[in-house]
Amino acid sequence: MTEGRLQDKVCIVTGSTAGIGAAIAELFAEQGASVVVCGRRAERAEAIAHGLCERGFDAMGQRCDVTDDGEMDRLVADTVGRFGGLDVLVNNAADVIGAHGPDRDVERLSVDDWESQVRTDLRSVYYMSKRSIPHMRQRGGGTIVNVSSVGSVIGWPKGAAYLACKGAVNQLTRSMAIDYMKDHIRVNALCPGWIRTETELKRIEEDPALAERQCEQMGIARLGEPREMANAALFLACAESSYVTGTALFADGGWTLR
């Protein structure tokens, strides 16, 4: 059997019980990694991991709310305890609902909602990286992929907290890339565009004209697929991108070109 592009690597993918995160976890497992599936829904994380194990892959499912430091601590500790180390971290967990209002401009955005968005979308990237980097250093290096957004560089109405967090994630990515080059730890951001997730399909169901309006903004006039984002994350995580660090890869169907 041909070895996968992440053969024998240990990978954590936060927010991997649905959408882009689930697609990343599945692809990484198919490429030979031992994968930790995690999210707020413990049963869902365990079910996805069980399904991967039934297909002959190595996976573990665990609850992890990335707003809870203790749960993040346990996630990293349990990963290292089970698999012996950590090579790849994908910081995918995010509050995508907070990207779309209806009352998310600064004037009407509550302080609690602001703090919740920052904890989920930005602080968790910092904290998971902080806990993971020492284990990567022990392995002689590693990779971190921070899932950001086209919203890191463009704006839309009612997205104040989400857009601010994603812009900060890109800058945090650059800072970490500089700081950990000496440890052979590469850090990059993946910036998806409009992707066919459960959340977005629900928005289209509520507003059937949304798809047409959105596609008008993109050169490739369709929703992206979670698997396409997983392919991009795989490139950033594996040795094929060994000369790439501190960058933001936009996988957005040409949205930011417009």
**Looking at the annotation, which residues are catalytic?**
162
Q: Using CA atoms, how far apart are residues 164 and 204, in angstroms rounded to an integer?
A: 25
Rg of the chain over Cα atoms, rounded to whole angstroms, equals 17
- In terms of C-beta density within 10 A (0-12 exposed, 13-18 middle, 19 or more buried), how is residue 85 classed? middle
Q: In what order do the strands lie in the sheet with 248-251?
A: 58-63, 34-39, 10-13, 88-91, 142-147, 185-192, 248-251
What is the DSSP secondary structure assignment for residue 152, as one 8-state letter? G
Query: Cα–Cα distances in Å, from 240 out to 25, 129, 143, 144, 234?
Result: 18, 22, 12, 14, 9
Peptide bond into 102 cis (omega under 30): yes
What is the DSSP secondary structure assignment for residue 95, as one 8-state letter? -
Place of tokens 């665990």: 62
